Amino acid sequence: MSVGDGGRDRAKWNQQRRWLTVLAALAVSLALYASGALSGLERSLTDARFRLLTRPPSGTVVIVEIDPKSLRSLDSWPWSRNRHAQLIDRLMAAGASLVAIDIDLSSRSSEDADAVLADALARARGRVVLPAFRQAQLGEDGRVDIVHTVPLPRFRRLVRIASVNASPSVDGLVRVHAAFHPWQTDEITSMPALLAEPARPLFTEFEIDYGIRPELLVRLSYVDVLRGEFDAGLIAGRKVIVGGTAVELGDQLSTPVHYALPGPIVQALAYESILQERTLKRAAPWLVSVISIIVCLLASGPLTRWSWRRGAILLCGIAVATGATSLALHAWTPMLFDVTPVIVAIVLQFVFALGLRIDRLDMALLLRTLRLRRSNAFMRNVVEHSSEGIITVTNNFVVGYANRAAGQIFGIDPSSLVGRRFETLLDVGNTKNVEALLANSVGHPRPADGRRPGGGTFPAELTSNEMDVGGELQYVVLLRDVSERRAQEELLEYLALHDTLTGLPNRALLMDRVEQAIARAERDGNRVALLLLDLDRFKQINDTLGHAVGDELLAEFGQALAGPLRRIDTVARLGGDEFAVLAPSLNGPEHARQIAERVAAALHRPFEIGELSLDVGVSIGVAIYPDHGTESSELMRSADVAMYMAKRERSTVALYDVEKDTNSVRNLSLGSDLRTAVRERELTIFYQPQVEVATGRPVAAEALIRWDHPRYGYVPPEEFIQLAEQTGVIRPLTRWILGEAVRQLAEWQHAGFDIGLSVNLSPRNLHEDDLSRVVSELFEMYSVRSDRLTIEITENAIMTDPARALDAIRDLKECGVRLAIDDFGTGYSSLAYLKSLPVDELKIDKSFVIPMIESGSDTVIVRSTVDLAHALGLTVVAEGVEDEAHLTILHRIGCDLAQGFHIAEPCDPETFARWMDENGRPELDPTAEQPAAGEAAHADGKEVRVLKRA
Ligand code: C2E
Ligand code: CA
Ligand code: CA
């Protein structure tokens, strides 16, 4: 519902409420009015007005009263009618205009007295009025009869007759006077009306104005008048009422304002009312009703809208105004206006409006209470069913409340937590610590160990909130059992720091431990050894025997590695087939070497994987703190260098040697020396022959660079080639070698023998765009057949950037050179991939060839490589032939070419030429266009090498 709707609804409700109150108030008030229930109140109001609005009598009537004094003075009552006759005579004599005698003369007295009175009446000549009245009399049969009492006929003829009946209103007071009374079949004028003639009342039935003050009426004592002891001037021209005023006579009437008045006085007041036009009449009920309705309607708006205080003021205002109006009407008109219906209606309306308002407030209050209770219940539910433990703690650290989850976390009923000291639920020690924890955890989750009352602790996290509860500080503590999360985190941490395959620590963890070990060694003054291990031919095993076998081998290897180690040592897997051992707290370098050798010994055995028995060679590089590095990264690098040294030297274990480290000081100076060496021609090229396995005849050679350093002497090519690559010298170096090689080829051609020559290319050379151009130019320059030159690219060089390698290879192939994959088996290529390259030759790395004599599995690897290479149409060269046995095996396997120390070591050109002469050099046939040496022809799927001889 929109706000506008709400406003409209409220307005509608206000309107309805207004009509409701008006209708109800009017209905009740008018019903009361109609039923007469208000008349008592109304009469009281009228009486009040009488008291307020008094007026003197006109003075035109004199009352001759049969008062106590007269009764005392004259003999016993009833008096002789002679007296009355005498009184009439006196009054007439005094000039009274009319004499009304309110004395019962209906029954006979003595004949004499009656005659005397009749004479007096006759003398008054019609100026006397005698009373007639109706009386209720209990008849002999028990029935109530209305008796009409009139004076004796003999008097009646001489006087005028008027009714002196007075009938009380419902309240028993004589209020209303009727100017005419029913009389048998006719009616009869009342005595006051008769006296007042010719003035006539405005209404035949009216209310006597009791505001006319009866005490101001002229009253004469009967006895005084009888005796002539009165001021005749008071009588002259006036009307006289003669009647009993003494209480003993019983003619007392109950009246408003004055309580009891003698009958004659009441008649005088009625007379005065007529005379002064104060014959009062109540306003017609319909008029009163209409006025009530109008006033109510006018007041309804403010009464419903205004506050109850303003409403009450309005109410009083209306009451006063109504009262004043009625007072004014009373004062200036003969109208009696009933104000009670108006006032009652307004009061009721006010009361109803107030009631409704209170109702509405009550309802609103009730609704709010309900809503509060509901939201309370809701909040309670939320808190109770929260998955987080919620506990309130008083400022003296006592648990005030605990929800369900809190109970579950602590393993007891939540109600049993209440009343416990909070520090007993935590593993933080004393109250002071709890206080600090609570203060620190306001708004920030803090870890803490929870303590279960039933025993045991658990990792928890708590956040607290300070709350002011009735001026007292309380904590609302949100508590969470984080064991699961902690376990998860620990698992993640474990995974982050461990190798999944072997379960061994990974590189990150190892580095961390290395740092710790270094810190401890620094403090304790001892040494730390870091061993890096690399499985020599893992890649080949993985490729030929499958990953499952490879994985199992790695796991076995990891376990075997830990065997000879101490508890404090760490075995880690760094990835692939690389492992590391951290051995802290060593006495000296010898100690480190011992450990390395123990490890090597433990690994020097075949690993049984399923049916297979696998022999894996391992290279172990050892670096020692502080000798080979004082920081973890430095130590790691040294161990890495040492490992490559081991590989290069084919010794299982190598201790770091600064001389062999390309980044060592020596190597840095070598790097700069190399540039001049290329320029100054300090470098020479050695040639190593390659022979046909089947016949033993030399067919080709490999150009291998040699550097005789003025200071360091012989520097192994692997060492300075790496430096050349790092310094960029590799570019001029390679060009120089290529130039020398092609020149040498030309020389050999010139000397008349046909031989191929292989030149090694560094991976960096593959990035040179103009290499193929350089080669073509050389061929042109020396007019050498391009297919006599073979370019060797290592498998690793191809695999680091296969796309670029492919581009470079294609360019070179376009010059017509042959292409060989060097060190095949050490990289991560597959034969299937190499198939897509324009390769001509495959050189099986010596690390496969050399162990063939001892290990059958290596023979298997070499054999399958040879078979696959042949299937792809490639020539296979086996490197590292150090033994006759190698040649025998290679022959059996069907390998094409062999190169190695057993055949010939690399040597200078002169020595090479001599060797060639001794071993039958392949002569060049200057006439025939025969396939050249190194070219392969395929017949029946079997490769046949055709060598041209002289
Ligand atoms: P590589 O290309 O595998 O060269 C063969 C290496 O095996 C040579 O080592 C050679 O002396 C050695 N060798 C030959 N027969 C045997 C044997 O029966 N047993 C053993 N254990 N080794 C044998 P070298 O001359 O020390 O060359 C080492 C590496 O240096 C080469 O390995 C090649 O990668 C690189 N290299 C040599 N000369 C050049 C060059 O001119 N340019 C480039 N880019 N690299 C070169
Ligand atoms: Ca080579
Ligand atoms: Ca090689």
pLDDT of 172-181, one tens digit each? 889 999 888 8
Predicted confidence (pLDDT) at residue 120 exceeds the cutoff of 80: yes
Greatest pairwise CA separation for the chain in angstroms? 216
Å from CA of 427 to ligand 1 middle: 67
How large is the average pLDDT for residues 674-690?
Answer: 89
**DSSP SS3 for 568:** coil
Residue 569 CA to ligand 1 center (angstroms) comes to: 37
Residue type at position 546: G
What's the pLDDT tens digit per position in 386-440? 888 899 998 888 998 899 989 989 999 989 999 999 888 888 878 888 888 888 8
**What would the 3-class secondary structure string for 147-197 be?**
EEECCCHHHHCCCEEEECCCCCCCCCCCCEEECEEEECCEEEEEHHHHHHC
CA proximity to 383, closest of 366, 398, 404: 404
* C-beta 716 within 6 A of ligand 1: yes
Q: What is the mean pLDDT of residues 579-605?
A: 88
Burial 634-646 (b: 16+ CB within 10 A, else e): ebbbbbbbbbbbb
Structure tokens at 431: 């109250």
450 in Cβ contact with 481 (< 8 Å): yes
Nearest residue by C-alpha to atom 29 in ligand 1: 718
894 sits in which H/E element: none
* 730 CA closest ligand 1 atom index: 44
pLDDT at residue 106 in the model: 84
pLDDT at 950: 29
284-342 pLDDT per residue, tens: 999 999 998 998 888 888 877 888 888 889 889 988 998 898 899 989 988 888 888 98
Contact present, 866 and 895 (Cβ < 8 Å): yes
* Nearest Cα residue to atom 7 of ligand 1: 880
Could you tell me which residues are beta bridge partners of residue 466? 475
- In ligand 1, the atom with minimum distance to the C-alpha of 762 is 44
| CA 703 to centroid of ligand 2, rounded, Å | 8
pLDDT digits (tens, 9 = 90+) for 187-197: 889 999 998 88
Token readout for 587 is 């006495």
DSSP 681-720: T-EEEEEEEEEETTT--EEEEEEEEEEEETTTEEE-HHHH
**Residue pointed to by tokens 């003993």:** 248
Q: Say how many Å lie between the CA of residue 910 and the centre of ligand 3.
A: 23
Q: Is 406 left (phi over 0), alpha (psi -120 to 50) or beta?
A: alpha
pLDDT digits (tens, 9 = 90+) for 714-733: 888 988 888 888 788 899 99
Taking the CA of residue 843 as reference, the ligand 1 atom at the shortest distance is 3
Residue 614: CB partners within 8 Å, gap ≥ 6? 541, 545, 549, 553, 606, 607, 608, 857
- Please identify, by atom number, the ligand 1 atom nearest to the C-alpha of residue 703: 41
Return the structure tokens found at 562: 């830990």
- Round to whole Å and give the CA distance between 163 and 271: 13
Residue whose CB lies within 8 A of the most ligand 1 atoms, among 536, 644, 704, 771, for a mutation test: 704
Q: Classify strands 683-692 and 446-451 as parallel, antiparallel or unpaired.
A: unpaired
State the number of CA atoms in the 13 A half-sphere of 302 facing the CB.
Answer: 14
Q: pLDDT digit string (tens) for 609-662?
A: 888 788 788 889 999 999 888 999 989 989 988 988 888 777 888 888 876 676
What is the Å distance from ligand 1's center to 795 Cα? 15
Atom of ligand 1 nearest to the CA of 718: 30
> Which residues have CB under 8 Å from 458's CB, separation 6+?
409, 449, 450, 452, 481, 483
Ligand closest in space to the Cα of 705: 1
According to the model, what pLDDT value does residue 470 have?
74
Residue 424 three-state SS: helix
CA distances from 939 to 26, 326, 580, 819, 947 (A): 131, 147, 50, 22, 15
Buried b (16+ CB within 10 A) or exposed e, 918-930: eeebbebeeeeee
Q: Is 689's C-beta closer than 6 angstroms to any atom of ligand 1? A: no
| CB neighbour class for 111 (10 Å; exposed up to 12, middle 13-18, buried from 19) | exposed
Tell me: the pLDDT tens digits for 122-148? 998 888 999 988 877 777 777 777 788
pTM confidence score: 0.42
Sorted by sequence, the CB contacts under 8 Å of residue 403 that are 6+ apart come out as 383, 384, 385, 386, 389, 390, 391, 414
CA 881 to ligand 1: nearest atom: 18
Name the E strands within 858-903: 875-878, 897-898
The burial of 164, by beta-carbon neighbours within 10 Å (0-12 exposed, 13-18 middle, 19 or more buried), is given as buried
Nearest ligand by distance to the CA of 880: 1
What is the distance in A from the centroid of ligand 3 to the CA of 880? 8
Q: How far is the CA of 704 from the centre of ligand 1 (A)?
A: 6
What 3-state DSSP class applies to 34?
helix
Mean pLDDT of 215-243: 90
Ligand 1 touching residue 718 (CB < 6 A) = yes
Nearest ligand to the CA atom of 741:
1
Q: Which residue's CA is minimally distant from atom 14 of ligand 1?
A: 900
Higher model confidence: residue 944 or residue 255?
A: 255
Confidence of residue 941 (pLDDT cuts 50, 70, 90): very low
Ligand 1 in reach of 717 Cβ (< 6 A):
yes
Question: Which band of pLDDT confidence, cut at 50, 70 and 90, is reported for residue 504?
Answer: very high
* β-pair partners for 240: 62, 99
Tokens 């029935």 correspond to what residue?
Answer: 143
Probe residue for ligand 1, chosen from 650, 760, 824 as the CB with the greatest number of ligand atoms within 8 Å: 760
Ligand 1 atom showing the smallest separation from residue 792 Cα: 2
Res. 663 pLDDT band, cuts 50 70 90: low
Residue 825 confidence class, pLDDT cut points 50, 70, 90: confident
What pLDDT does residue 538 have?
Answer: 83
Distance 939 CA to ligand 3 centre (A): 28
In angstroms, rounded to a whole number, what is the distance separating the alpha carbons of residues 623 and 635? 6
Structure tokens at 78: 């009833």
Query: How far apart are the C-alpha atoms of 862 and 853, rounded to whole Å?
Result: 12
DSSP secondary structure letter of residue 69: H
Q: Which residues fall within 8 angstroms of residue 776, CB to CB, at 6 or more apart?
A: 786, 815
State if residue 880 touches ligand 1 by the CB under 6 angstroms criterion.
yes
The Å distance, Cα 784 to ligand 1 centre, comes to 25
Beta-bridge partner residues of 624? 529
Closest CA to 518 of 571, 596, 584: 584
Q: What is the atom index within ligand 1 of the atom nearest the CA of 717?
A: 30
Confidence of residue 79 (pLDDT cuts 50, 70, 90): confident
Q: Answer whether 90's CB lies under 8 Å from 226's CB.
A: yes
Q: Cα-flanking dihedrals φ and ψ of residue 185, to 5°?
A: -90, -10
Mean pLDDT of 677-697: 90
Q: Rounded to whole angstroms, how far apart are CA atoms 121 and 124?
A: 5
The DSSP 8-state label assigned to residue 658 in this structure reads G
Give the helix/strand (H/E) hosting 445: none
C-beta 900 within 6 A of ligand 1 = yes
Phi/psi at 388 (5° precision) = -95, 145
Question: With 50 as the cut, is the pLDDT of residue 936 above it?
Answer: no
